[in-house]
Each structure stands twice: as structure tokens, then as C-alpha cells.
Amino acid sequence: MNLPFFIARRYILSRKSHQVINIISWVSLAGIAVGTMALIVVLSVFNGFEHLVIGLMNTFDPDLEITPVQGKTFDPYTLPEDQMQRLPGVVSFARVIEENALMRYRGHQHIVTLKGVDESYVRSSPLDTLLLDGEFRLREGEVEQVVVGAGVAWFLEMNIRDRMSPAEIYIPRRGKGYSANPLDAFNRELVFPAGVFSVQQEFDTRYALVSLELMRRLLNYEREVTSIEVRLSEGTDEEEVKASMQALAGESFRVRDRMEQQETLYRIMRTERWAIFFILTFIVIIAAFNMVGSVSMLVIDKRKDLAVLWSLGANRALLRGIFLGQGVMLTLAGALAGLLAGAILCWLQQQFGLIRLGGTEGSFVVDAYPVKMAFRDFLVVLVTVGAIGLVASWLPTLRLKEGENRRFYLSR
């Protein structure tokens, strides 16, 4: 065994001449353990929320989205759709039109993002798994229907069981000049509510889904679409399909994956995660600097032992290594204890949902705080806490000096 670490281990386990030194050492260990546990728990909760939000958004957002580089609409027949649909893993190839519109229902009105989709979207979209009420149906015979987000339904006080009260959709007519009747400036369609979905607040308060044919009538489009949404089968190499589609589409089109479609949201989540990590790391730094006092007190307590070791031929590096080793071992013990405690707490939360979200049962997508442990978090936290403890243990050893009669002390 390495001699400095052997002596350091004996110093940790042995009784000190002053009980306060033992107390300071164990307080240092406990502080590091609690800080490490907090880091693991908070990062795991962030992972859980991120996994939950991404899972919900993936239900609404496609795996890949094709949009024009310039302009808002394009003719889908300018794309080699047959070749794209034959790419390995492509499940659906849905044409989509999105436009802002005014929706009115029983005297209430709300601005929505109206999304017109074709049958391919309806057949392949997992949105029906997030329906709060009704059915995911955009047409019943010749009757046009709409599926709205929970926020839109709330603003309009919509009742999907009322078959006598349709919703009105208004979109400005393109190229319409001045008219004495303001209603002449809008295209209007009637739709009956069919279902209410809930994904995430940003989507729930904005989106309403209708058929692609209805959107084309409202906008006076013939073949134009605003995007094409592509869904892939599970296990498909998304990057490979994306590169192939981009090559087929050419420079006039942009193929975006889910991260690029919601780039702002992903950036915000990453920023919040790192901000919380650094805040908790600062708390660990404060706790770790109890190690400075612990090592300093031990140096004072073991001055006679240091003089004996010096007489036996030990150099200053070995003596410093003893106290550095003590700090490192206390830090690692605290870090490992914190990692274990954090893992146990996260597992208990996963299995039993001990800490629940506020509100009534069923008012959120999940009732308890979601938790998802990741090995990289454990590794990052262990390295971070270990580095902090190493620095905190190393600082007091720099002041270790030899005085008269080989008495060691800490210089100012």
C-alpha cells in the first residue's frame, strides 16, 4: 500500500487528542455526501422532466420535417416523393399546411395555429394516445371536424358532445381588396369539435387540427403545402435517413430532425440543467472547504508524529501526501455515500412516487415527479466532487512548514 495513504487511513480511523477534530472530519464528509446526493437527485429529476417533455413532444412533432429554404409554401410534386418514401424505415409521408386563424365558438374566440393534415398523418400519428376526450377524427362523411388542444378547448369553452353548435374558422383571403362588408375579407368554414388532446402547454393553447382539404379551401391553395412530416419506424438510423432525404430534396429544401424543430426549447432545457448543476456545485464547494479546517487541525494535532517521520527520512512531499490522502479519502467516501443515497432516493421515487406534484390527481400528465437516472450524471458528479475535494485538501498542505526543533506548523 502507498505509505502516505496508509498513514492517512490510520489517522482517519484513530482517535485524535482533541475530539473536535473528529467532529470536523465527519461534518466535512457529511456535507460532501449531502451535496453529492442533492446533485444526483436534482439532475435525475431534470432528466425525468426532459424525458417526459420530449416524449410528449415526439407524439406531436414528426421524426423529420421537410420545409422550403425560401418562402412559406411549396409544391410537393417538385420533390421525388416516391424515392423518399422507399427509403428504409419511412412509415409515413404526410403533407401539412399550417396557418394562423381565428376560431369562434358560442360567442368565444381564440387565435389558433390551424394545422391541416392528410390521411397519412391521421393513420400514423400517435396523437390519439394523448386524447383527453373524443376521437381523433377530422371528417365524418362530408362533415368537417376539428381536434383541438386542451388550452384551445378551455378558451372557447368547447363541448365536443354538442352536435348542434359548430365552430367557425376565419382566415383572411389572399389578395382581397377593400370591401364595405368586413366579412368579405375572410374565408369562413364550419367544423364540429371531435376531440381534445393534451401534449404540452405551448401546443395545447395553440393548435387545432383539420383536414388538408379544408385548409386548401380556406387558403385558396391548389397543391401547395407548408411542410411534409416524415415518421420513421423504431430503430431506424435517423441521421442516415435525414442525410438521404436532404440529398434527394436538394438545396432548396431543409430537412430537420426533432432537435432542430424545437431548438429553442431544447436549448432552454440544457441551460436550466447546467445552471442548476453549477448552483449545487457551488454549495458542494462550500461544504468541501470544511476539509481545509479538518486537514489544518490534523496537522496541528500530529506535529510530533511529523517530527518523528522527518527524523526517519521522510521528505516534505511524503508528509504533505499524508494529509492530502486524508482529504481525498474523506472526499471519496462522502461522494460515494452521496451517490449511493441519491441512487436509492431516485429508485424509491421511480417505484413508489414518494414526492408528488401539486394539484388534484390526474390534473397533470404524471402525478409524481418523474426521475430518470443516467450513468453520465453519476460520473460527472463523482469527478466534479472529487476535484473539489482534492483542491480543498491540497490547499492547507502547501502551508506545511518545518520550525524549530523539527516542530511542524502551518505558515500564514
> Residue 17's pLDDT band (boundaries 50, 70, 90)?
low
Of the listed ranges 110-119, 191-200, 295-304, the one predicted with least confidence? 295-304
- 375 pLDDT above the threshold of 50: yes
* Average pLDDT in the chain: 85
Closest listed residue to residue 331, CA positions, set 388, 279, 286: 388
- Name the packing angle between helices 290-301 and 263-288 (round to 10°): 20
DSSP per residue, 178-239 = --SSGGGGEEEEEEEEEEEE-S-HHHHTTEEEEEHHHHHHHHT-SS-BSEEEEEE-TT--HH
- Cell output for 317: 512531499
Domain boundaries, the chain: 3-57+266-410, 62-258
Q: Is 363 exposed, middle or buried (0-12, 13-18, 19+ CB in 10 A)?
A: exposed
What is residue 392's predicted lDDT score, i.e. its pLDDT? 84
Of 37-46, 250-259, 289-298, the least confident: 289-298
pLDDT number for residue 18: 55
The better pLDDT of the pair 166, 286 is held by 166
d(CA 136, CA 123): 10
Cα separations (Å) of 306 from 133, 313, 368, 411?
77, 11, 55, 15
Residue 197: burial class (beta carbons within 10 Å; 0-12, 13-18, 19+): buried
Cell of 177: 381588396
> CA-CA distance, 202 to 99, in Å (whole number)?
16
Residue 11: which residues within 8 A CB-CB, separation 6 or more? 298, 302, 322, 326
pLDDT value at residue 181? 63
- Determine the Cα–Cα distance for residues 145 and 139; give it in Å rounded to an integer: 5
**Residue 363, pLDDT score:** 52
Q: Which residue has the higher pLDDT, 306 or 335?
A: 335
Q: What share of the chain is helix, strand, coil (3-state, %, to 5)?
A: 55, 20, 25
In terms of C-beta density within 10 A (0-12 exposed, 13-18 middle, 19 or more buried), how is residue 175 classed?
Answer: exposed
With bands split at pLDDT 50, 70 and 90, how would you rate the model's confidence at 118? very high
The C-alpha cell at 139 is 371528417
What pLDDT score was predicted for residue 405?
44
Question: CB of 189 within 8 A of CB of 144?
Answer: yes
pLDDT tens profile 338-371: 999 999 999 999 998 888 876 555 556 677 889 9
Please measure the distance between the N-terminal and C-terminal CA atoms of the chain and give it in whole angstroms. Answer: 33
- According to the per-residue pLDDT averaged within each range, which of 177-191, 258-272, 386-400 is highest? 258-272
Burial class (CB in 10 A: 0-12, 13-18, 19+), 69: exposed
Q: What is the DSSP string of 126-161?
A: GGGGGEEEE---SEETTEEEEEEEHHHHHHHT--TT
pLDDT confidence of residue 383: 94
Q: Decide: 199 and 55 in contact? Cβ < 8 Å.
A: no
C-alpha 303/C-alpha 323 separation (Å) is: 12
Average pLDDT (195-199) is 92
**232, three cell numbers:** 420513421
Helix (H, G, I), strand (E, B) or coil at 355: coil
Using pLDDT thresholds of 50, 70 and 90, give the confidence band for residue 404: very low
At 129-180, the pLDDT tens digits run 889 999 999 998 889 999 999 999 999 999 998 888 999 999 988 765 555 5
Give residue 305's pLDDT: 72
SS3 109: strand
| Residue entry with cell 438545396 | 251
Res 365: pLDDT: 65
Rounded CA-CA distance 3/312 in Å is 13
Query: Which CA distances in Å does 228 have to 45, 62, 137, 149, 300?
Result: 35, 9, 20, 21, 73
Query: Distance between CA atoms of 292 and 31, rounded to whole angstroms?
Result: 13
Residues 291-332 pLDDT 10s: 777 777 777 776 677 767 777 777 777 877 877 888 888 889
Q: Which comes out higher in pLDDT, residue 63 or 286?
A: 63
